[in-house]
Structure 1
Amino acid sequence: MAVGRAGVAFEVSHRPMVVVRDLHRSYGRGAGAVHALRGVSCEVPRGELVALRGRSGSGKTTLLNLIGGLDTPDSGQATVDGTALADLDENGLLEMRRDRIGFVFQTFGLIPILSAAENVGVPLRLRRMPSRERDERVALLLSLVGLADHMKQRPGELSGGQQQRVAIARALANQPSLLIADEPTGQLDAETGREVMELLRAVVRSEGVTALVATHDPHLVGLADRVLELNDGVIQEGGTSPALNSPGP
């Protein structure tokens, strides 16, 4: 058993966090059908930051949506934290997304009228966490992402990088096992994007979270522990990143 900087205990296991076997997903029918995934198989090791790389339209978002339980494959299976998503009904998928998977998107998705702290606290309110415990958890998470002094500011008062940090803190609110990030630096400049990617890597190492991050930026790929590359709907492991042998941020 290990304990992260936000005071959360987590277990160390050698079982992969994500196992994908022969996933197929198409959109449309007949000659106009788009075959987004053509038999994708891969594993995401527990406790690593894994980059999912591929050109635009390669199927990265489709794969993330299937692993996150936001979409259903035509065939094949995805298993997250030992649970086969195909075995879950709608309520089971909802609980999986709420309790065990955190999502970070390119567009941040923050509620404009709420402060940074209130945005991070939304998932905890939905779980009816007592207010004192919720406030403590929110404060810990905003400290973790370097925004302890910006708790009361609204998204419009924050930079793009700060907004994405709030989004990451919100995704971690319910202590997920898996963090899924779809082009989380797509709207940021190069320097800020690198800072966000370094933050994700630090979160993985300190909180025991596994992160699967889709990115097209080759400089950010170099910060990952492992790289998976999508090519024409088929995924191939691109090897181990130098990040494994370099000191953390």
Structure 2
Amino acid sequence: MKLDLSFIWTAFVSLLPAVPTTLKITAVSVLCGFAIGTSIALCRMYRVPVLHRIAAAYVTVIRGTPMLTHLMIIYVGLPLIVDGLAEHFGWSFRSVQIPMIGFAYLSFSITAGAYFSEVVRSGLLSVNKGQLEAAHAVGMTTPQALRRIVFPQAFAAALPNLSNSIIGMLHGSTLAFTVSVVDINAQAEIVATGNWKFFEAYLAAALLFWGLTIAIERLSALLEKRVTRYNRGGVA
């Protein structure tokens, strides 16, 4: 087999239109997952009645099952639920109206929530409890203390792990092709189908993902430096 270097560049250029889809899936899953994860972490840390047990079970189940399985369960199960409710209540909305990327958004957000909860929880645990007690002593409520004192420090401590989780979700977004979403990997397969140069096409996809990963690492390093300066009282 002879490597076609020129086709690698051709494939690379052809993959660029799929980058926004991959980034959208990653961004939505990360933002929603972070919100879910923060809520789960707080429920578990403060042992909210009933909810902390549900939260612990959620983390155990999601982390103990593959990401692709979550996607398949959502893809097959959600239409059954939506159509069942629509028929029962007489709604006009049906599952066929859900865009395919919507299944990826929901599934990956649920997956990300479990992993981000552990990242957030580790960051919160790294902050000395005495600081929260001191905040209470000067009249702050718990939400105020968390927002002003605990969360900024926890975020700085958790940032390296957050960066790793974001990269993991970027790479995990390649599973979206299983529900007919044309992401970078799916586009690589489409590009290679015409001439069977799959090696070159997937190599181009790998280079593109590598570039996106490096960009996330650089942005994370800059943010970590800025947050650390802020927490130490430097210029924000």
**Which structure has the larger Rg over C-alpha atoms?**
2
TM superposition score normalised by structure 1 = 0.22
Indicate the structure with greater strand content. Answer: 1
Indicate the structure with greater helix content. Answer: 2
